[in-house]
Structure 1
Amino acid sequence: MPSPARRLMASISSTLSLKHGLSLRPTHQQSASLIRTSSAPGIGFRSFRRSFVAASSSAFSNENREFVIVGGGNAAGYAARTFVEHGMADGKLCMVTKEPHAPYERPALTKAYLFPLDKKPARLPGFHTCVGSGGERQTPDWYKEKGIEMIYQDPVASIDIEKQTVTTNSGKLLKYGALIVATGCTASRFPEKIGGNLPGVHYIRDLGDADSLISSLEKAKKVVVVGGGYIGMEVAAAAVGWKLDTTIVFPENHLLQRLFTPSLAQRYEQFYQENGVKFLKGASIKNLEAGSDGRVSGVKLEDGSTLEADTVVIGIGGKPAVSSFESVGLNSSVGGIEVDGLFRTKVPGIFAIGDVAAFPLKMYNRIARVEHVDHARRSAQHCVKSLLTAHTDTYDYLPYFYSRVFEYEGSSRKIWWQFFGDNVGETVEVGNFDPKIATFWIDSGKLKGVLLESGSPEEFQLLPELARRQPAIDKSKLEKASSVEEALEIARSSL
């Protein structure tokens, strides 16, 4: 029988996808729930007229009761900015979050935040939202100046749809006219019975998690990273900066199997190995072992062998934090809260954005859930504009994913790739990874997706246009291209 860890990782591998929420290849369940419009029969979306009641009862703990955002991540931060841009935040908007910090750019947690102290690591307030998209940095003082009420370290525990209230863990009763759910995801964890909660075992979802990991890295000698996706690749790259013995363990055949082709993955794996990272692919984990001091001491595999480790990082994806909002309406196929193209749930006055939103992916005609900072930003802006204005355009998202690793001082080479579109059909790989390489996905003669490593700003700007317009392209011409530049010019000319 497979071990609990193996079953968990296999389950996550089969259901997660890029960053880890969008399934670019529809599953059987997804295919069964394809939609024709953003208001598909059965969802029951209705128009919403704000039913805010200016209640003065002292029973309510929030002073700003017209709009309430639940969650304190990227989506919440960008939603707040959009309220401010429309002059609808001051005295009207309340944000309630489980974190002690104002919203920040979470991608930093597995990138620059983990750099060694002598390599200029990222620290707050440097990466508060919305600095990641070139906007004004939203520090705690920014929220005060804009008249936004902030309730920290007190997550929402329940909702009363009829009374339009939510109750927090501490018992605060909050009134809302319109509610935006932006609770994000929680990390998928190993069960406690196989060592998932041992000291020295880490998961990364928030700043506290990252701080705890840094404390371990400062004393660590041998690090094992479980998972070959984004988290695993980014954490392993950071561990190299600490000059630690680092091993990545995962059950798949190669890195980032949901996106990378075997050939592309081999290029990245070779670079990691050149930087001292070891790989154990196709591995089944039985349990995590503890030493005499109670801390993790090793990762025991099903073949009976054990990897020594004083620090273990589990990066096997996440799951949407929706337990308090099941009554709002969940999607059984992709998870998350079902919304339409304006991010309205089936309950008038309640919206969901970011990681938790199961929304119509218009250009591919299917329901999707995307865990990525780009979608968090865009969904927040689209939702709030729709709520506050006559804006009725359906959200038309183009899937976009990226990663940046080895960016610390002294690194032999910085890695930065971007992907746009859908990874379906046949692939054409061009380039030698020195430093550029590009992979093109072609389905039924049309260009569906493209990944580029180490491109110029102009080349990266071309990718979304190619992916959105999906031009007919001559595969044989691409295969004959002598360089990435030539291949991109072939693709450009196909437009």
Structure 2
Amino acid sequence: MAHFVVIGAGQAGASLVAKLRSAGFAGDITLIGEESAPPYQRPPLSKAYLLGEMELERLYLRSPEFYAENHISLRLGQPVTAIDAQAKTVTVGGEVLSYDELALTTGSTPRRLPAAIGGDLAGVYTVRSLADVDAMRDEFAPGRSVVIIGGGYIGLEAAAVAAKLGLKATVVEMAPRILQRVAAPETSAYFRALHTSHGVEILEGVGLDRLLGEGRVTAARLTDGRELKADFVIAGVGILPVTALAEAAGCALDNGIRTDAQGRTSQPHIWAAGDCASFPWGEGRLRLESVGNAIDQAEVVAENMLGAGKAYVAQPWFWSDQYDCKLQIAGLNTGYDHIVTRQGSGAAVSFWYYQGPRLLAVDAMNDPRAYMVGKRLIEMGRSPDPVAIADPATELKALLKA
């Protein structure tokens, strides 16, 4: 009987094994994860879970019984130490397992602050895993000070939690503005104002020189000489694809594990999906760090492991929750040259990214209708007149029929 092995028990890995079974695969399936917890959602970690509004069991993507009922062997807390692509084996927990097809869904890991600037001091955290968040939860006590290095979505979500729990939060962003890498100035300005209104201090255009403290962090010295009191520090400075196993197995890398349109790596019988994988996109390649991509790509790869021969066509979407604002993003804004602002009802607003006449992406704040219509328009390859988008009198749903 065929044996399919999946390394990486996150969103992509859990989606892949579930799809294998629902698509009719009757062979053996083994899902291997480094963490001791069964596959769980990561987005709520820096939001509802950190706030104490979500119990651990609600994080789980499937009930623990699902894997047993579907005859999926779940090996947790057991990192894979080797892959032999020629022998088609993986070594885990000192045991050598043979596979017929292998999928790598190893995800990503947070960038850490260098030890040379105090990144190894106690009280310095990243936000990626359940263990990360559990380790820092007791730090979030009213009146304490947290310095957050990095003004991306992870850093801003952590700042929102800190402010809601009564902490003094300061965000330090070395770029000229928060969210510079991922969003337009209009979106940056929206979230700068939102955080400032909740008491968060946003420092832009200044970097971290080093963290101070003997054994444990007590302050952050910035590149302009300022020193900020810090009871603890959160580093939100990006993530890196986890590729060491793939590289050791001889898989080609290219901003992650390089795959073809169907999810095959350069090694026969080895596939990849999720945060760790880069795939063909237009004239180049793309690696997406999102729940939507992890699910959709993993399901296509599962079908292709069974011979479907389907190309993966990404439909990017993302979201972020901060305070009472829900940001929903459709599309990719790379290459935009102008922004169209649409004011919705109440506090709703959306920013529409255009490259010439072509609609690329939409950032919608508390405006689910703008998000849904924008997402559908992008998927359909339609680009409405920017004048119509900017006009509050335009009925958005009518644009889908135009």
Q: What does 1:275-314 correspond to in 2, within 5 Å? A: 275-291=198-214, 294-314=215-235
Aligned partner (choices 48, 66, 69) of residue 112 of structure 1:
48
**2:257 matched to 1:337?**
yes
What is the Cα deviation at residue 346 of structure 1?
1.8
**2:353 matched to 1:421?**
no
What is the Cα deviation at residue 259 of structure 1?
3.0
Residue pair 1:430, 1:487 contacting (<8 A) in 2 also? no
2:225 and 2:345 map into 1 onto residues whose CA distance is: 37
Aligned partner (choices 330, 353, 373) of residue 273 of structure 2:
353
In structure 1, the gaps of 5 or more residues are 1-53, 55-64, 130-137, 407-413
Listed one character per residue, the Cα deviations across residues 263-306 of structure 1 (whole Å, up to 9, x for unaligned) are 33112211111111111111121111114xx2110111122221
Residue pair 1:448, 1:470 contacting (<8 A) in 2 also? no
User: Residue 404 of structure 1 corresponds to which residue in structure 2?
Assistant: 321
Moved more, 469-478 or 78-87: 469-478
* Aligned residue type for 1:160: D
Give the CA RMSD over aligned residues.
2.0
Residue pair 2:344, 2:367 contacting (<8 A) in 1 also? no
User: Residue 181 of structure 2 corresponds to which residue in structure 1?
Assistant: 258
With CA pairs under 8 Å and 6+ residues apart, which has the higher RCO, 1 or 2?
A: 1
**2:249 matched to 1:315?**
no
2:79 and 2:143 map into 1 onto residues whose CA distance is: 33
Distance change >3 Å, CA 79–CA 489, structure 1 → 2: closer
Listed one character per residue, the Cα deviations across residues 148-204 of structure 1 (whole Å, up to 9, x for unaligned) are 112111111221111111123x42222211100001011101111211121110011
Aligned partner (choices 148, 151, 156) of residue 228 of structure 1:
151
1:218 and 1:93 map into 2 onto residues whose CA distance is: 44
Residue pair 1:70, 1:95 contacting (<8 A) in 2 also? yes
2:316 and 2:244 map into 1 onto residues whose CA distance is: 26
Residue pair 1:450, 1:467 contacting (<8 A) in 2 also? no
What is the Cα deviation at residue 242 of structure 1?
1.0
Q: What is the SS of the residue equivalent to 1:126?
A: helix
1:433 and 1:230 map into 2 onto residues whose CA distance is: 25
Distance change >3 Å, CA 490–CA 437, structure 1 → 2: farther
1:489 and 1:252 map into 2 onto residues whose CA distance is: 37
* Aligned residue type for 2:76: Y
Distance change >3 Å, CA 147–CA 220, structure 1 → 2: farther
1:446 and 1:217 map into 2 onto residues whose CA distance is: 45
Distance change >3 Å, CA 489–CA 139, structure 1 → 2: closer
2:243 and 2:365 map into 1 onto residues whose CA distance is: 35
Distance change >3 Å, CA 113–CA 220, structure 1 → 2: farther
Moved more, 281-290 or 422-431: 422-431
* Aligned residue type for 1:182: T
1:297 and 1:190 map into 2 onto residues whose CA distance is: 15
Q: Give the structure with the higher percent strand.
A: 2
2:398 and 2:194 map into 1 onto residues whose CA distance is: 28
What is the Cα deviation at residue 430 of structure 1?
2.1
What is the Cα deviation at residue 92 of structure 1?
0.3
Q: What does 1:85-484 correspond to in 2, within 5 Å? A: 85-88=22-25, 92-115=28-51, 117=52, 121-129=53-61, 138-168=62-92, 170-218=93-141, 221-291=144-214, 294-326=215-247, 327-332=249-254, 335-361=255-281, 364-388=282-306, 390-406=307-323, 414-423=324-333, 424-431=336-343, 434-456=346-368, 458-479=369-390, 481=391, 483=392
1:490 and 1:232 map into 2 onto residues whose CA distance is: 37
Distance change >3 Å, CA 286–CA 488, structure 1 → 2: same
* Aligned residue type for 1:306: E
Q: What is the SS of the residue equivalent to 2:190?
A: helix
2:367 and 2:277 map into 1 onto residues whose CA distance is: 31
Aligned partner (choices 9, 14, 17) of residue 80 of structure 1:
17
* Aligned residue type for 2:238: G
What is the Cα deviation at residue 344 of structure 1?
0.9
2:362 and 2:300 map into 1 onto residues whose CA distance is: 25
In structure 2, the gaps of 5 or more residues are none
Give me the identity figure in percent.
30
What is the Cα deviation at residue 432 of structure 1?
7.2
Residue pair 1:478, 1:490 contacting (<8 A) in 2 also? no
Listed one character per residue, the Cα deviations across residues 312-347 of structure 1 (whole Å, up to 9, x for unaligned) are 000111111111111442333xx1111111111122
1:96 and 1:220 map into 2 onto residues whose CA distance is: 41
User: Residue 396 of structure 2 corresponds to which residue in structure 1?
Assistant: 488
* Aligned residue type for 2:77: Q
Distance change >3 Å, CA 141–CA 220, structure 1 → 2: farther
Residue pair 1:203, 1:314 contacting (<8 A) in 2 also? yes
What is the Cα deviation at residue 145 of structure 1?
2.1
Q: What is the SS of the residue equivalent to 2:103?
A: strand
The alignment of Structure 1 onto Structure 2 pairs a total of residues equal to 399
User: Residue 13 of structure 1 corresponds to which residue in structure 2?
Assistant: none
Q: What is the SS of the residue equivalent to 1:243?
A: coil
1:104 and 1:249 map into 2 onto residues whose CA distance is: 30
Superposition TM-score, scaled by structure 1 size = 0.77
